[in-house]
Amino acid sequence: MTNETQPKKRGCFFYGCIALIIAVLVLAVGGVLLVRYTKGKIESTVAEYTDPAPVQIEKADASPAKVKAIQTRIDAFRNGLASGQPQELTLTADELNTLLAGQPDLKELADKVYVSIEGDQMKANISWPLPDIGPLKLKGRYLNGTANLKVSVTKGNVDLRIDDFQSKGKPIPTQFLQELRKHNIGDDLQRDQQTASAIRQIDSAEVKDGKVIIRSK
């Protein structure tokens, strides 16, 4: 018999994009280092923009009552899609962090990422352990910083990009940012069938006045 109180997994649509954002960041920066930099310059750049230890990430309130209240609203939005009537779901950064921290299988991710929204700008504070990338030895180093994100969904088309990234209190070099801004992470999200199906039901999504506003078709 299925336990009806077991939390439902939300898939990439709500959470997987965070891991994708960081993967794109690491791979793009790593690629530029390998192609354009000498060995000595790579080592100095890695030391300048990464750390040998993680930093403490802010913790969200993941009390069962708060998680349940937010997920009830999300379920109502999802169920309302079947009615054919326009639906709207509004989530604050605090609620997004609660959802992330409230999923047992995503607790490790919640220890590395904390989302904030300032006006119309979404940000992600991260402390992420780095993998080796080919000959680039990064294991044992951490990327500690803040990513500024550009997020929009228009008629089922997702545009999600890293607009800026600061590590150790300073922006990463321009050539890294240029590579990051080229990549629409929304394209990667929509390769997952479950995520693509959910996105097709959305008419628009925007970050505005400290909230994420999602509207159905």
Q: What is the pLDDT of residue 16?
A: 58
The answer to whether residue 24 sits within a structural domain is: yes
Q: What is the pLDDT of residue 6?
A: 39
Q: CA-CA distance, 177 to 63, in Å (whole number)?
A: 37
The answer to whether residue 79 sits within a structural domain is: yes
Q: What is the pLDDT of residue 19?
A: 67
The answer to whether residue 7 sits within a structural domain is: no
- 122 pLDDT more than 60: yes
Domain that holds residue 60: 12-216
As given in the structure block, the two tokens for residue 132 are 């080796």
The answer to whether residue 100 sits within a structural domain is: yes
- Residue 71 or residue 22, greater confidence: 71
- 65 pLDDT more than 90: yes
- Count of domains in the chain? 1
The answer to whether residue 1 sits within a structural domain is: no
Per-residue pLDDT tens over the stretch 142-198: 989 998 988 888 877 888 888 899 998 889 888 888 888 888 887 877 777 777 777
